[in-house]
Amino acid sequence: MDIVEVLADAIRVAIGPLAAAYALAAVGLNLQFGYTGLLNFGHVAFLMVGAYGTAITVDQGGPLWLGLLVGVAAAVALGLLFGLPTLRLRADYLAIVTIAAAEVLRILIRGPGEDSLTRGVFGIQRFGNDFFDLNPFPNGEYGIGRVSFTERGLWVLTVAWALVAVFTVLVVLLTRSPWGRVLRAIREDEDAARSLGKNVFVLKLQSLVIGGVIGAFSGMLLAIDRQSVNPDSYLPVVTFAIYTVLILGGPASRLGPIVGAVLYWFVIQFTEGFAREAIRAGWIPESVLDETDIGALRFALVGLGLMLLMIFRPQGILGKREEVLIDAQ
């Protein structure tokens, strides 16, 4: 068994575009859930409208930059759609509405046939060419040892982590300002904030929309990297994977989303590679585990890891322990 190859593979995924996109999505969710306490269970819908906004615009003959604008505008609209009817109500209503609305939207996109705007189950392909035409890196392999990327991969990677950096800084600036102080007050007790004259509704809406737009960038990034959008990539489970990333890293921590995403994808990829190699090498008998079970196994391990984390480090890797302890009082 080639443990080095398994490791190299896991590292490649953990710093790759997928991890960056999840980190980005988690940065947005961190603003909503971590700092404001909004239970947005439909975060995947922001990724979806971002991706589809871009794909449809380009598919209809528009330029990519316009597609990106449309994706952002769609995320703003979705944030208002989620927020306006629910943010005056208790937190659980937002959770119910967002999880349902995200699924409704996905099914609406999936419904029509191939000739429609969304192209139904077939999805839209090859809309990111303009992005790859901008690639400044010459042909070749880039990396250290066995962890390497093609010039295409490197280009996506660079843009992806640059976006993560930009939005992380944005969220840090936002949350350490008096505006962010009101968000934290809302997270703890809306009525206290109201009794001090804070317009809770507007701030929650702002937080939801900004977090949603960051989510849309994550969706656009993933879609352009794959050169494909398909409604079935936006199942509710994606939202929960992003929550896992955020909780791993530590909600309301600055770098938590990044640490969480890297670790999440490292564990997922490493367990998959390791189990596969172990089965091939005959360390694990087929009767116990065969290769088709690996997909389930890796999520079971992530679940186990989360449980251990909640027991021994409930604040996540980078969260503040005191805040969790105060909660327990």
Partner 1 sequence: MPSETAAPVTGVAPEPGVAKPDPILSVSGLRKSFGGLVAVHVDHLECQRGTITGLIGPNGAGKTTMFNLLTGFDRADAGTWSFDGSQLEGMLAYQIPRTGLVRTFQLTKALAKMTVLDNMTLAATTQRGERLRECLVRPLWRQQEREIEARADALLERFNLAHMRTEYAGTLSGGQRKLLEMARALMVEPRMLLLDEPTAGVNPALLQSIFDHVRELRDDGMTVMFVEHAMDVVMGISDWVVCMVEGQVIAEGPPASIATNDAVIDAYLGAKRTEEAQTGGGG
Q: Which residues bind partner 1 (CB under 8 A)?
A: 170, 173-174, 177-182, 184-185, 187-189, 191-200, 206, 322-323, 326-327, 329
C-beta closer to partner 1: residue 236 or 251 = 251
User: Minimum CB separation from partner 1 for residue 194, in Å?
Assistant: 4
Say how far apart CA 117 and CA 233 lie, in whole Å.
18
Burial (CB count within 10 angstroms: exposed 0-12, middle 13-18, buried 19+), residue 92: exposed
User: Minimum CB separation from partner 1 for residue 217, in Å?
Assistant: 18
Say how far apart CA 170 and CA 49 lie, in whole Å.
22
C-beta closer to partner 1: residue 61 or 197 = 197
User: Minimum CB separation from partner 1 for residue 308, in Å?
Assistant: 24
Q: Which residues contact 246 (CB under 8 A, 6 or more apart)?
A: 26, 29, 30, 33, 34, 256, 257, 260, 316
C-beta closer to partner 1: residue 136 or 178 = 178
User: Minimum CB separation from partner 1 for residue 61, in Å?
Assistant: 35
C-beta closer to partner 1: residue 110 or 194 = 194
User: Minimum CB separation from partner 1 for residue 313, in Å?
Assistant: 17
Amino acid at 122: F
C-beta closer to partner 1: residue 202 or 310 = 202
Q: What share of the chain is helix, strand, coil (3-state, %, to 5)?
A: 75, 5, 25
Q: Which of 212, 197, 179, 171 is nearest to 80 (CA)?
A: 212
Compute the C-alpha angle 234/236/238, nearest 5°.
65
